[in-house]
Structure 1
Amino acid sequence: MGKHILLLGAPGAGKGTQSKRLASEFDLEHVTTGDALRANKDMDISDMDFEYDTPREYMESGDLVPDDVVNEIVKTALQEADGYVLDGYPRNIEQAEYLTEITDLDAVLYLDVSEEELVERLTGRRVCDDCGANYHVEFAPPEEDGVCDDCGGELIQREDDTEETVRERLTVYHKNTEPVVNHYRDEGVLVEIDGEQTPDGVFDDVAEVVEDA
Structure 2
Amino acid sequence: MSNPRLLILGPPGAGKGTQSANLAEEYGIEHITTGDALRANKDMDISEMDTEYDTPRAYMEAGDLVPDAVVNAIVDEALSQADGFVLDGYPRNLEQAEELSGMTALDVILSLEVDREELVDRLTGRRICDDCGANYHVEFSPPETEGVCDDCGGELIQREDDNEESVRNRLDVFQDNTAPVIDHYEDHDGFVTIDGEGTPDEVWAAISDAVDARVE
Q: TM-score range by the shorter chain?
A: 0.7 to 0.9
AA paired with 1:205?
A
AA paired with 2:53?
D
Number of the residue aligned with 1:127: 128
Distance 2:117 2:81 in 1: 37
Distance 2:52 2:156 in 1: 33
**Closer, same or farther: CA 81–143 of 1 in aligned 2, 3 Å:** farther
Number of the residue aligned with 2:109: 108
For 1:181, what is the secondary structure of its paired residue? helix
Number of the residue aligned with 1:61: none
Q: Is the 8 A contact 2:41 2:74 kept in 1?
A: no
What per-residue deviation string (whole Å, max 9, x for no partner) do you get for residues 116-168 of structure 1? Answer: 11111111112233443321111111222233333444322222211111111
**Closer, same or farther: CA 103–40 of 1 in aligned 2, 3 Å:** closer
TM-score in terms of structure 1 length: 0.83
Q: What is the deviation of 1:79? A: 2.1
Match of 1:47 among 39, 53, 61: 53
Give yes or no for the alignment of 1:28 onto 2:29.
yes
**Closer, same or farther: CA 2–139 of 1 in aligned 2, 3 Å:** same
Q: How many residues align?
A: 203
TM-score in terms of structure 2 length: 0.82
Q: What is the deviation of 1:85? A: 1.0
* RMSD (Å) for aligned C-alpha atoms: 2.7
Number of the residue aligned with 1:78: 79
Number of the residue aligned with 1:164: 165
Structure 1 vs Structure 2: percent identity of aligned residues?
62
In structure 2, runs of 5+ residues without a counterpart are 43-50
Distance 1:189 1:151 in 2: 43
Number of the residue aligned with 2:99: 98
Q: What is the deviation of 1:55? A: 7.8
Distance 1:148 1:35 in 2: 26
**Closer, same or farther: CA 34–150 of 1 in aligned 2, 3 Å:** farther
Q: What is the deviation of 1:56? A: 8.0
Q: Is the 8 A contact 2:107 2:190 kept in 1?
A: no
For 1:140, what is the secondary structure of its paired residue? coil
In structure 1, runs of 5+ residues without a counterpart are 59-63
For 2:146, what is the secondary structure of its paired residue? coil
What per-residue deviation string (whole Å, max 9, x for no partner) do you get for residues 172-213 of structure 1? Answer: 110100110000013454200111111111100100111222
For 2:186, what is the secondary structure of its paired residue? helix
Number of the residue aligned with 1:87: 88
AA paired with 1:184?
Y
Distance 1:4 1:108 in 2: 9
Number of the residue aligned with 2:139: 138
Q: What is the deviation of 1:38? A: 7.3
Q: Is the 8 A contact 1:46 1:54 kept in 2?
A: no
Give yes or no for the alignment of 1:201 onto 2:202.
yes
Number of the residue aligned with 1:178: 179
AA paired with 2:91?
P
**Closer, same or farther: CA 34–133 of 1 in aligned 2, 3 Å:** farther
User: More deviation in 92-101 or 154-163?
Assistant: 154-163
For 1:142, what is the secondary structure of its paired residue? coil
**Closer, same or farther: CA 164–74 of 1 in aligned 2, 3 Å:** same
Distance 2:171 2:26 in 1: 30
**Closer, same or farther: CA 79–38 of 1 in aligned 2, 3 Å:** closer
